[in-house]
Chains A and B, each alone.
Chain A
Amino acid sequence: MSSSPERRAVIHDIGYRTYDGPRLGTGSVATSLFTTGLLNAYGFGRSAKAKVLPLVVLAIMLVPAVILVAIMVVVGLGEGFIDYSTYATSLFLIISIFVAAQAPVLFSRDLRSGAIVLYLARPLSAAGFALVRWASLAVAILMFVMLPVLVLYAGALAAEADVSEQTGDLLVATAGIALLSAVLATLAGLVSALTLRRGLAVGAVVIALLVSTGFVAAVQSIAVVEGNEAVAVWAGLLSPFTLVDGVQSGLLGGTSSYPAAPETGVMAAVYLLTALAVIGTGLALLVRHYHRQGKR
């Protein structure tokens, strides 16, 4: 074939209009991926069957709060009789089920189906994709835990409890819940990105969240009976729930719901640093994993 200039292939202009509207940048890709992820975590934008589980679990999560508010209003108590910061730790089973069931939705499906290649072909980098997915899951967990706490807060205000005291408690609880959501999202996201089959991913996340908590509970109850408080406090570092509970009670003045909580400022700082280190390391591993996926 000759390659003279006259014979060169030409794309003919057959009159289609070109796009001249605004071009949204990478930031917009990230925002819409974040919103979709957040909605998907609750089953919106997916099949009707996918909505059942998250919404049922959310309803179960709300039931105790509604009952408590009802009791508070009927009995006429002037103040909330449950500490906001203990709500999350008392319902850690429900939270774990939600996280275990929904983390694979955000982290396993793209990787299993191969759709990840298409996502990573877009301007958003692998690291950006991983972080946005993580943010969706963290915010979904935050909303899941915050909603019943806000119901309690609204109930307490409606029962004319002391506003400044209640608000202070709420802020402490909010900080704790934000940290808890970040830690849970990191662990669950990492585990379900590494375990692709759904049933297996759910099981692996549960092992990471619940078995560690059961493990810590067993160690702490034995150590406290034996009078060995130091071991009990160090053991608390091994489970996400006791870890955040320790930060909340040690640094923020919340109430601990476990037999052993850090009493000195140094130990509480160790708890906080461990929580931040878990988030940092987990995110680094997650980003590295997605980076590798993009290269395949």
Chain B
Amino acid sequence: MNATITRLAARSLFGRRRGVLLVVLPFLLVALSMAVALLTEATSAVDPVTAVFGLGLVLPLVALLVSTGVIGPEIEDGSIVYLLATPVSRLSVAVSKQVVASVVTVVLGAGAVLTSALVLAPGSPGQALALGLGAVVAGLAYCGLFVALSALLRHGTVAGLIYVLVFEGLLASWLSGLRYLSVGSFGRRVAGALTDDLDLVVRDMSLVYGVVAALVFTVGGALVTAHRLRSFELRGDD
């Protein structure tokens, strides 16, 4: 961890008007929840709004935007060499950047999921906490994966999108074995273990596997990023 790198990463996320884009998604989720809560009385809306839209789409997209934002542009324009030329270990650079991404994802993404569940079902704070905690676990794992992806690939954002939309969204719904590699299902498993009110289909995956796998994505992501930065070479544009 390095305080200066952390501060710079946070500034690159929220500098100028870029922060607006990050706030749009959580805002949409909370606004939708409020609208639904005003229009209907049923608490059954927690499943389509908080679990499917929030946990399944808003959280991964926030994590993706934040994670690629802390490292992608610097690699793209090559200015990361100035950072790598400083006597700070590459692991420390990777961890500092990932920590910023994780904190922002937890506050904005998981915070929005928690708020949405509270707004929709004010009577069951336990369920909201379970969803929020699931979102925290999934958010941390997503950040590890996406930071590593954007350090490894030029098209980190697109690769992350394909992971979220095609792999988790399309393929995992047909080939249920893929849930063992889907970060979203780890989050749902953790949330499902803490509450009985929701039917978060992850079938028979064990809770221990879910937590350990999420941890592997989180820590592994930082290690892969550090390794990538250790063997970094400059490339031209396109």
- A residues sitting closer than 8 Å to B (CB atoms) are 46-47, 49-50, 53, 60, 93-94, 96-97, 100-101, 109, 195, 197-200, 202-204, 206-207, 210-211, 214-215, 217-219, 221-222, 225-226, 228, 231
Q: Nearest Cβ in chain A — how far from B71, in angstroms? A: 10
Would you list the 10 A-B pairs with minimal beta carbon distance, nearest first? A199-B157, A199-B72, A199-B68, A202-B157, A203-B65, A218-B53, A93-B165, A214-B57, A101-B158, A218-B48
The reply to whether B58 and A97 contact each other, CB–CB distance below 8 Å, is no
> Is the pair B69, A199 in contact by a Cβ cutoff of 8 Å?
yes
The verdict on B231 contacting chain A, using a C-beta distance below 8 Å, is no
The residues of B that contact A53 with a CB separation of less than 8 Å are 155, 158
A97 with B161: CB separation less than 8 A: yes
CB-CB < 8 A to B61: which residues of A?
A: 203, 206-207, 210-211
The CA of A93 and the CA of B155, in the complex, are separated in Å by 18
Contact between A231 and B39, CB atoms less than 8 A apart: yes
Which residues 150-180 of B have a CB within 8 angstroms of A? Answer: 150, 154-158, 161-162, 165-166, 169-170
B57-A211 in contact (CB<8A): yes
Q: A101, A199, A221 — which one has the most chain B CB atoms within 10 A of its CB? A: A199
The interface centre, meaning the residue of B25, B39, B150 with most chain A CB atoms within 10 A of its CB, is: B39
CA distance A231 to B39 in the complex (A): 10
Q: Which chain A positions have C-beta within 8 A of B40?
A: 222, 226
Residues of B within 8 A of A222 (CB): 36, 40, 45, 48-49
Q: Does B21 contact A (CB under 8 A)?
A: yes
Q: Nearest A residue to B57 by beta-carbon distance?
A: A214
Contact of A203 among B21, B36, B57, B170 (CB under 8 A): B21
Query: Is A218's CB under 8 angstroms from B76's CB?
Result: no
Q: Choose among B39, B161, B166 the residue that contacts A202 (Cβ–Cβ < 8 A).
A: B161
Interface residues of A: mostly helix, strand, loop or mixed? helix
A103 and B212 alpha carbons, distance in the complex (Å): 38
Is B44 interfacial (CB 8 A cutoff)? Answer: yes
Report if B52 contacts A (CB, 8 A).
yes
Question: Which B residues from 27 to 77 make CB contacts under 8 A with A?
Answer: 28, 32, 35-36, 39-40, 42, 44-45, 48-49, 52-53, 56-58, 61, 64-65, 68-69, 72-73, 76
Known: A206-B61, A225-B44, A231-B39. A215 touches B53 (CB 8 A): yes
Q: Is the CB of B165 within 8 A of A96?
A: yes
Residue of B nearest to A50 (CB): B238
Q: For B65, list chain A residues within 8 Å (CB).
A: 200, 203
- Please tell me if B24 contacts chain A, counting CB pairs below 8 Å: yes
Interface size counted on chain B using CB atoms at 8 A: 41
Residues of A within 8 A of B166 (CB): 60, 93-94, 97
Residues of B within 8 A of A231 (CB): 39
Q: A97-B166, A211-B58, A222-B45 are in contact. List 12 more A-B contacts (CB 8 A).
A: A100-B158, A195-B21, A203-B21, A203-B157, A211-B25, A211-B57, A214-B57, A217-B48, A217-B53, A218-B49, A218-B52, A219-B35
Closest chain B residue to A222, Cβ basis: B45
In angstroms, Cα B35 to Cα A76, docked, is: 50
User: Is B18 close to A, CB under 8 A?
Assistant: yes
B158–A202 CB distance below 8 A: yes
Q: Are B73 and A204 in contact (CB under 8 A)?
A: no
Complex-state Cα separation, A200 to B170, whole angstroms: 24
Question: What are 18 sample pairs from A and B whose C-beta atoms fall under 8 A apart?
Answer: A93-B170, A100-B161, A101-B155, A199-B72, A199-B156, A200-B21, A200-B69, A202-B157, A202-B158, A202-B161, A206-B61, A207-B21, A211-B28, A211-B57, A215-B32, A218-B48, A221-B48, A222-B49
B179 to chain A, nearest CB (A): 18
* Bound-state Cα–Cα, A49 to B235, Å: 13
Contacts of B53 in A (CB 8 A): 214-215, 217-218
Tell me which residues across on chain B come within 8 A of A206, comparing CB atoms.
61, 161
User: Which of chain B's residues have a CB closer than 8 A to the CB of A225?
Assistant: 42, 44
Partner of A97 from the list B39, B68, B73, B158 (CB cut-off 8 Å) is B158
Residue of A nearest to B42 (CB): A226
Known interface pairs A97-B162, A203-B64, A207-B21. Does A219 touch B155 (Cβ–Cβ under 8 Å)? no
Residues in A neighbouring B56, C-beta threshold 8 A: 214
User: Contact: B25 with A207, CB < 8 Å?
Assistant: yes
Residues of A within 8 A of B156 (CB): 199
